[in-house]
Amino acid sequence: MINSLRARLLAATAVLLLAFTVLTGLALQTAVRERADQAEHDRLQGLSYALLGSADITDAGGFNLAPRVLPESDLTRPDSGLYAAVLDGQGRMIWHSPSLLGDIDVPDLPAVGQWQQMRIQAPGNGELISLSFGFRWVTEQGDDYRYTLVVAENAQAFVKQMTRFRSVLWTLLSVSAISLLIVELLILRWGLAPLRRLARNLADLESDRDRRLEGNYPDEIQPLVSNLNTMLANDQARLTRYRNALGDLAHSLKTPMAILRGMAEDKNLAAETRDPLRSQLARMNDILDYQLQKAAAAGKRTLARPLALRPIAERLGRALTKVYAEQATTFDIAIDTRLRAPLDEGDITELLGTLMDNAAKYGRDHVIVDARIIDRALELWVDDNGAGFADSAPQRLLERGVRADSSHEGQGLGLAVAAEIVRSYTGTIELGSANNGGARVIVRIPLS
Residue spans of the domains in the chain: they are: 28-161, 240-296, 307-446
* pLDDT for 8: 85
Q: Please, which pLDDT band fits residue 283 given cuts at 50, 70 and 90?
A: low
Q: How many angstroms separate the CA atoms of 345 and 424, rounded?
A: 14
Q: Is the pTM of this model over 0.85?
A: no
Query: Which of 114, 152, 110, 109 has the alpha carbon at shortest distance from 130?
Result: 152
Q: What is the CATH number of domain 28-161?
A: 3.30.450
439 near 431, Cβ under 8 Å? Answer: yes
**Helix, strand, or coil here: 267?**
coil
| pLDDT score of 309 more than 70 | yes
Q: Please, which pLDDT band fits residue 411 given cuts at 50, 70 and 90?
A: very low
**Helix, strand, or coil here: 85?**
strand
DSSP 64: E
Q: Identity (one letter) of the amino acid at 154? A: N
Q: How far is CA 217 from CA 5, 9, 188, 224, 243, in A?
A: 18, 21, 16, 10, 34
Residue 20's φ and ψ, nearest 5 degrees, are -65, -40
Query: For the chain, what is the mean pLDDT?
Result: 81
Tell whether domain 307-446 is in CATH 3.40.630.40. Answer: no
Q: What is the mean pLDDT of residues 50-63?
A: 76
| pLDDT score of 444 more than 90 | yes
**Bridge partners, 138 (sequence order):** 144
Q: Please, which pLDDT band fits residue 176 given cuts at 50, 70 and 90?
A: very high
Q: How many angstroms separate the CA atoms of 212 and 237, rounded?
A: 13
* pLDDT for 405: 55
Query: Which of 93, 87, 161, 82 has the alpha carbon at shortest distance from 128?
Result: 82
HSE-up (13 A, CA, CB side) for residue 216: 0
231 near 212, Cβ under 8 Å? Answer: no
- Listed in order, strand segments (DSSP E) in 233-312 are 307-308
Q: Please, which pLDDT band fits residue 182 given cuts at 50, 70 and 90?
A: very high
